[in-house]
Amino acid sequence: MPIDIPAGELPEIIDGLPNLCGSESRIEAATSRREPVHLGRSPLELERIQSAFSVALHMHQPLVLDDGDIRAARVLGNLEYMMARKEQHDFHDAPAYAHCYARPADLIRELSAAGRRPRLMLDYSGELLFGLRQMGLGQALEGLKAVARDERTKDCVEWLGTMWGHAVAASTPVPDLILHMRAWQHQFASVFGLEALARVRGFSPPEMSLPNHPDVAYAYVGALKASGYDWLLVQEHTVEETDGSELRERHLPRRLVARDGRGREVSITALIKTQGSDTKLVGHMQPYSEAQSLRPRGLAGKTVPPIAVQISDGENGGVMMNEFPGNYKRVFSETGTEGVVGLAGTEYLELLAQAGVGERDFAPVQPKHQHAVWRRLDGRSGPEEVARAIEDAKRADHRFSMDGGSWTNDISWVRGYDNVLDPMRKLSSLFHRTLDGRAKTDERAYRNALFHLLATQSSDYRYWGPGRWTENARELCRRGTEVLERDFGR
């Protein structure tokens, strides 16, 4: 049965800005629906499945400033910036990138028409969705929308929620976490519809970032739950067993437990993404090969199939541009409804739930390094006690950090970025002091301030180093401050 949601769709662009806010009640009504997404529509039977594999494609382009006077430059998507300069070596792949954003719909339609049952999880940042429409590539979105709405293909694609501005959760101001989540939901619903949004149950963190500071992790998981998410992808080396050891089980769902300094707990189901973030793993459909070596195992008194999960950039590098489509089609031409099968994350979890296995049965994990904090507290709680435990752990082990984890251990999203993070934090503080509880979210002034706030927090302004990227971030912070002072008298 279709998921019942409020009638009428949301506008995609409002006064030149993406639809980020103003329809909170309708978004909450859609995301609070708990009807199964796949059960009753799928021919799969759990006892006939040996193991499962799942692949996800992450698609993103940040917003940037055009050339010229930086204080007057237009805000545009990076793909549009690249496309206008595709004769340059650094930007020559822009047309191929644009094709990659539209290609998932073609792959799904081709395989479905051939009688196969493809599965693909997709994560498109809000900035990319806005940028594609802004530059006139709406046909890519229309193709994806058709697949998401067609009864013959809607189960083939699982859309994953994410942060609107590709923000690294561990270094995003805590009050902004839910703003990113709700902004993405507004943007997605405005493109694909509220019914499609009601089917979004999983979350894909930008840079696979997982906060490990107790208070931030608690706020992050709480924001996910408040936004209606049932599960999220977690990089294996960003979590630990509750005794502090490395993960002992990576191919069954886990229960991510976040506990703050006051002892409050919140949890959410986690599907573990194994290994690093090499695009070759997805480009060559390594999860399928991994799943072939797995066998059913016991969980909560039942025998259930394990799952191998991977995500990578869907457009970045020759392997994704050229090799992934052929490998993807080959695998889904070989697989069916028994043995080793392709599944989306929610589909897999719903099959387990149908067998009576749910989040309460999944073995707990916690963010990396938290065991080092909790064992020093010895049952005590409170922010001051936690802060002392953290400082003690830092002195005892140079590897200890509360900067959070991500897809790589080689990059810190905090150290060395004060020239970007300080203006970002100041803008966030000003935004909340000025607007919290006093502004109407459906007015353009609020939407404009929110747009600038979220755009400043993209990880690209740190990942790509100093120069143009850093200058873009600082200028967007300046503009955001100007909007707040001009439109709200602060």
430 vs 9, residue with greater confidence? 430
pLDDT of res. 415: 54
Which residues 6+ apart lie within 8 Å of 146 measured at CB?
A: 105
- Of the two residues 437 and 452, the one the predictor is more confident about is 452
Q: Can you tell me the distance from the alpha carbon of 404 to that of 414, in angstroms, rounded to the nearest whole number? A: 9
- At 405 the pLDDT is 61
Q: Give the least confident one: 242-246, 255-259, 404-408, 441-445.
A: 404-408
The C-alpha atoms of residue 344 and residue 52 are separated, in whole angstroms, by 9
**What interhelical angle do 418-435 and 174-192 show, nearest 10?**
80
Q: What is the mean pLDDT of the chain?
A: 92
Among the residue ranges 62-71, 81-90, 455-464, the one predicted with the least confidence is: 455-464
What pLDDT is attached to residue 460?
87
pLDDT at 277: 62
pLDDT of residue 466: 75
Q: What is the CA radius of gyration of the chain?
A: 22
pLDDT reported for residue 411 = 54
Locus of tokens 């600038």: 452
Instruction: Give the residue-averaged pLDDT of 375-396.
Output: 88
Interatomic CA distance for residues 14 and 11, integer angstroms = 7
Percent of the chain with pLDDT over 70: 95
pLDDT at 384: 87
* pLDDT tens digits along 206-226: 999 999 999 999 999 999 999
pLDDT for position 171:
87
